[in-house]
Amino acid sequence: MSTEGGEMTGTRPQRADARRNRERVLAAAEDVLAADGMSASMRAVADRAGVGLGTIYRHFPTREALYQAILAARMEQLVAAGRAATTADDPGAAFFDFLTRILDSARDKKALSDVLAEAGLDPKSGLSRITDDMREVLATLLSRAQKTGAVRPDLRMPELFALLTAVSLGVERAAWSRDLTTSTLSLVFDGLRPR
């Protein structure tokens, strides 16, 4: 059995140390990207993770594979945060806080997605399972917030998703400042509250 192949597809069993290495590389890549931006080199990621360049390329044969894995990891963290919020004491605050968090993440995703798109890859490829999870978490948060009266009862998932998409695109493509994002989002949120 090839351990390497198992690590790359993520479907076959992984040895614990290989998985730890992979996670260490992902965390290092996040740090290096935050510091150096998209000019970050694979060499810098390897140094930061304390592994050889060969280890990086065994886990992520191309820069694009690494970026795709980072995007997936971020989405999974976001879904996990949303799932934790489904038991919050204040369902209204939990709902609006989670929407804000999704849109904050849009800003960081942009540069990675651009590199993937330039390489002719679909940034969303391989994320469909996570997207389904996100949809489920959002539906739960919405329903809880509606029950407490914090969100208008006629708000449905298609419109909620459409609004999230629109504001994400604004943040990503029109490069809104943080202040403009906050004030625009507060107008959108007011439209979601009962009148």
- Considering only 1, 37, 120, 174, the residue that binds its own copies (CB under 8 A) is 174
Site for its own copies in 102-161 (CB under 8 A): 155, 158-159
State the minimum distance, in angstroms, from the CB of residue 90 to its own copies. 20
13 by Cβ neighbours in 10 Å (0-12 / 13-18 / 19+) ranks as exposed
Nearest CB to its own copies, comparing residues 80 and 119: 119
Nearest CB to its own copies, comparing residues 21 and 146: 146
> Would you state the torsion angle of the CA atoms of residues 138, 140, 146, 151, taken in this order, to the nearest 10 degrees?
-10
Is position 165 an interface residue for its own copies (rule: CB under 8 A)?
Answer: yes
Nearest CB to its own copies, comparing residues 41 and 165: 165
Q: What separation in angstroms does the CA of 6 have from each of 27, 53, 101, 119, 166?
A: 20, 19, 33, 25, 38
Number of residues that bind its own copies (CB under 8 A): 23
Check: CB of residue 66 under 8 Å from CB of residue 45. Answer: yes
State the minimum distance, in angstroms, from the CB of residue 167 to its own copies. 5
The amino acid occupying position 75 is: M
State the minimum distance, in angstroms, from the CB of residue 98 to its own copies. 18
75 by Cβ neighbours in 10 Å (0-12 / 13-18 / 19+) ranks as buried
Token duo for residue 42: 């694979």
Q: Which of these ranges, 1-9, 10-18, 32-40, 180-188, lies near its own copies under the rule CB under 8 A?
A: 180-188
**What region does 10 belong to: left with phi over 0, alpha with psi -120 to 50, or beta?**
left
Q: Which of these ranges, 44-52, 54-62, 139-147, 163-171, lies near its own copies under the rule CB under 8 A?
A: 163-171
Q: Which of these ranges, 18-26, 49-57, 88-96, 175-183, lies near its own copies under the rule CB under 8 A?
A: 175-183
CA atoms of 99 and 167, how far apart (whole Å): 10
Binding site for its own copies (CB under 8 A): 155, 158-159, 162-163, 165-167, 169-170, 173-174, 176, 180, 183-184, 187-192, 195
